Structure 1
Amino acid sequence: MKQLLNTLYVMTQGAYVCLDHETVKVEVSGTVQMQVPLHHLGAIVTLGNVMMSPFIMARCAEDGRAVVILDRNGKFKCRVVGKTSGNVLLRQVQYEAVRDRERSALIARNMVAGKVKNARQILMRGARETGNADESTALRKAGDILADALFHLKDVTDIDHVRGLEGEAANAYFQVFDRMVKEEDRPTFRMNGRNRRPPLDPMNALLSFLYTLLLNDCISAVEGVGLDSQFGFLHALRPGRPSLGLDIMEEFRSVLADRLALTLINRKQITEKHFEVRPGGATYLDDAGRKEVIMAYQKRKQDEFHHPILDQKVPFGLLPHVQSRLLARHLRGDLEHYTPVLYS
């Protein structure tokens, strides 16, 4: 089993990240603020005006350690990538599978089924936990729509039909998502469906930031097993889009991001004060909010989940890697189907 390594997030503006032998140093105004053994890190993520020495960037690229650069709001800017590695024959069968519309649709169907099933679990849990009968009814009705989508997915072999069912389920899910926020905090975190680029309310800003963190982990997992993150099955191919990273992320959105967002809000770890509203209505987490979210996300990744295929406990942070390996085994012909993670 792959070891779950830490991700170093550097958010202090003006910080400088460098390599001292086998230790990563973070300096601010010439003063060392922290040191971390390089072998403890699986990735380095910087936000905003953070500088990195070319030596540490080259070393991370050589080792296959992800280096991701985000702007101060958490928007993706670039990744540092080393020489192409992995099994070229695996990527070849991946490309062939993407071109095979029927096979591609079947893989996408299973991914969407995992996403919808996990999202429905979140809704049903919310319906049980709320003390308001009207809220419980609304959440259960949305859960019924997702159950209906699952029922129809089992017979679908067309990729556009798969995407249509996924869209209907996502729309129903986000129409009631803010009903799982405690009533006293709901005015702040009310959302009118999902919006992005830019997010227009605090809830969407929080979800977008968590999805960025999760996507970077999924891209690293996909590339770590030798697959091409640009060639996906559910998400259409577009220049610059990490389609397979987005595919793998779908079944984890509700488990690793959505549920965490609700926990942070309901425990008042994230409040109205953690957001900035820009001209035009764009809403983003502030520095304190991003720090709070990153710490909670890192902690969540340490929690364990019993994986039914492996029949053993796996940290949540390793699930993207495990699912990427299962997908690779399916593409090679070692597994008949790609089986998504189902959270219960």
Structure 2
Amino acid sequence: MTAIYMTEPGTCLKVKHHYFQVFHQNKLCLQVHSSQVSKITLFGNCHLQPNAASLAQSLAIPVLFLDNQGNYLGRLQLESLHPAKYFPQQIKRAQNPNFPKTIAESIVRAYLHNCGIVLLRLSANHSTPKAEIAMEMLDLLIDDLPMADSIHALREYSTTAASLYYQAITELLAKAFNFQCTCRPHSHSINSVLRLGNALLNHTIYGFVQSAGLNPNFGNLHFYCQDELSLIEDFAVEFRPFLVDELVANLAISQILTPDDFTRPSQQDAISLYPATLKKFIKHWEEKLQTEVTHLYAGKLSYRRCLAWQVQEYIAYLLGDVEFYRPMLLKWDTDTAISPVSNQPTEQRILVKV
């Protein structure tokens, strides 16, 4: 399968004989059969012709629109003649208050745990006071988590953890991005990449959730939020620390991303990534998804397959095939982050380079 990313302003996606065609300045840059496309992402001033939108919609190919700051602009609504396969079970299970709370507690526990592992990794060579405090507090929050008697309380635990965690991340990145000298614009640069990573993560999860037959609007931890894709947000909580935060942090620390990769802010425009920087980040994002790790319950899997696994794990709990939902938990050992998987036969990635 192929993931199409369109980054250059003026790029247009067309269709001819069931082939998606990417054009830039009237030049054909990419052509791939529609049956081989898994998702489409358009940045900024890129265009989707009506026939391409119709074909993507008919094949249930997720299409995401982002601006050059990584902000969500919209999503092509996938039409369906039938409701999601498991939507009746989602409604039925939600009528039992214990079901969404149990799921929510598992998700928050995984978030606290994974945040701690990411901080441990990032501070392995040079720790900071805030990172040490955050890791200690995350352990205490995990111990106290059974005291949370409602989903609202669980969300408060998550919010408290996020505050401590991101303060620690900021301190760890201070030297890499010279936060001390020009904190505001450079911290905004990092935030723009984090937003982009979060959007790409949600887009990837959306494809798995939609194809599995779940209603993405029916979540558990985020059920009472106004988020229209609350189930997507549920899954993203488990994966965001190591798929997005750790990736961005490592790119900054290793100077793969530098302040020169971002436009300078003005009164009219916010900080954004240059098209070449977008391509660079997308390349590392796709490599991250291919990275193989040891899943606690499934063995060696790529991160992409871990996402698919968790969706199926959720369905198993939804149907009562398992006693509880087992979230994605990172391991801290030398096997945790090994090189990207090679020779993957199941999914090909094509990045639009125009």
TM range (shorter): 0.7 to 0.9
Change (3 A) 1:85 1:213: farther
Unaligned runs of 5+ residues in structure 2 are 332-354
Cα drift, residue 149 of structure 1: 1.0
Rounded to whole Å, the distance in 1 between the matches of 2:82 and 2:317 is 17
Rounded to whole Å, the distance in 1 between the matches of 2:268 and 2:14 is 38
Cα drift, residue 173 of structure 1: 0.4
**Which one-letter code corresponds to 2:8 in the other structure?**
T
Aligned alpha-carbon RMSD (Å): 2.5
1:323 matches 2:310: yes
Q: How many residues were matched structurally?
A: 330
1:49 is matched with 45
Rounded to whole Å, the distance in 2 between the matches of 1:253 and 1:314 is 17
Rounded to whole Å, the distance in 1 between the matches of 2:94 and 2:250 is 37
Aligned with residue 266 of structure 1, among 253, 271, 274: 253
Q: Secondary structure at the match of 1:55?
A: helix
1:256 is matched with 243
Please list the CA deviations of residues 126-154 of structure 1 after superposition, one character each: whole Å capped at 9, or x if unmatched: 23221xxxx44431221011111111113
1:241 matches 2:228: yes
Aligned with residue 153 of structure 1, among 145, 157, 160: 145
Cα drift, residue 231 of structure 1: 1.3
Q: Secondary structure at the match of 1:245?
A: helix
Q: Secondary structure at the match of 2:31?
A: strand
Report matched runs for 1:176-191 at 5 Å. 176-181=168-173, 183-187=175-179
Q: Secondary structure at the match of 1:58?
A: helix
1:333 matches 2:320: yes
1:196 is matched with none
Change (3 A) 1:122 1:52: same
Aligned with residue 160 of structure 2, among 149, 162, 168: 168
Q: Secondary structure at the match of 1:72?
A: coil
Aligned with residue 123 of structure 1, among 114, 119, 122: 119
Rounded to whole Å, the distance in 1 between the matches of 2:47 and 2:25 is 12
8 Å contact from structure 1 (residues 191, 203) kept in 2: no
Rounded to whole Å, the distance in 2 between the matches of 1:173 and 1:189 is 22
Cα drift, residue 49 of structure 1: 1.9
Q: Secondary structure at the match of 1:33?
A: strand
Unaligned runs of 5+ residues in structure 1 are 193-198
Rounded to whole Å, the distance in 2 between the matches of 1:61 and 1:28 is 23
Change (3 A) 1:88 1:256: closer
**Which one-letter code corresponds to 1:38 in the other structure?**
S
Report matched runs for 1:52-63 at 5 Å. 52-63=48-59
1:213 is matched with 200
8 Å contact from structure 1 (residues 189, 202) kept in 2: no
**Which one-letter code corresponds to 1:158 in the other structure?**
S
Change (3 A) 1:145 1:254: same
Change (3 A) 1:32 1:326: same
For CA contacts below 8 A with separation 6 or more, give which structure has more relative contact order.
2
1:306 is matched with 294
2:97 is matched with 101
1:19 is matched with 15
Rounded to whole Å, the distance in 1 between the matches of 2:273 and 2:199 is 13
Given the two structures, how large is their TM-score scaled by the length of structure 1?
0.87
**Which one-letter code corresponds to 1:167 in the other structure?**
T
Given the two structures, how large is their TM-score scaled by the length of structure 2?
0.85
Identity %: 22
Q: Secondary structure at the match of 1:185?
A: coil
1:203 is matched with 190
1:81 is matched with 77
